[in-house]
Structure 1
Amino acid sequence: MIRFALPALALATIGCTQTPPPGAEVPGVECNAAKLGTLVGKTRSAAVEAEALKLSGAKTVRWLAPDSAATMDFRVDRLNLYTDASGKITRSGCG
């Protein structure tokens, strides 16, 4: 039974860690989290999310609280906003 489980597990995880090749660019999509330093310390809200999208150039936002589960897929149009337990932004990143 175990000899069948390991190959199945390997096949199941093949597509989970796709990243673009180095230097790859997607026309019209730019996420720049370096511009978001002013948002650190602000509490999660619709207004803060709208400001983050405007400043970063991203198309979508993913809020990540401590101990939250997240996929490892890379999306060039997504901004990740990391928060503490009270919902205040601690850092940001693209992907």
Structure 2
Amino acid sequence: MMRWVLAGIVVIGLAACGGGYQRDLTYREMDAIARRSTQEQIHRPPPDTCQMAAHQSLVGMLGAEIDRAALPESARVICHDCSVTMDYRADRLNIDLGADGKVTRLHCG
């Protein structure tokens, strides 16, 4: 008798934890969800951890005209053919100069 009571409690517990009905997704639906998630991750803008947005006005300016006092403390100006360390620091603003000495892009790292 005790065995039947225990089995009944287990069945009732499983039924309560089962939740609502949920249909299985087809492979096409799962593929569409995965593709949408991948596209969202690819096109998500990178976080602005180095105040890059505040210094976008530097793009196109000559490197010699940059007011270094107005830049964040850890910022670095990288000339066209200069070598730099490959260490990554999310709070560091990198200012890349082109062959003509003008700022071509800004990026964190």
In structure 2, what is the Cα distance between the partners aligned to 1:82 and 1:67?
10
1:44 to 38, 59, 63: 63
TM norm structure 1: 0.51
Higher relative contact order (CA 8 A, sep 6+): 1
Q: How many residues align?
A: 61
Write out the 4+ residue segments of structure 1 that deviate beyond 6 Å after TM superposition: none
Unaligned runs of 5+ residues in structure 1 are 1-29
Among candidates 63, 73, 77, match of residue 59 of structure 1: 73
8 Å Cα contact 1:39-1:48 kept in structure 2: no
CA distance in 2, matches of 1:92, 1:49: 14
- RMSD over aligned CA atoms reads 2.1
Amino acid at match of 1:69: S
Structure (1/2) with the larger helix percentage: 2
Structure ID, larger Rg: 2
Give ranges in structure 2 of 5+ residues lacking alignment. Answer: 1-48
The structure 1 residue matched to 2:94, chosen from 80, 83, 91, is 80
The letter for the 1-side match of 2:69 is: A
Q: Which has the higher strand share?
A: 1
Identify the match of residue 50 of structure 2 among 31, 34, 43. 31
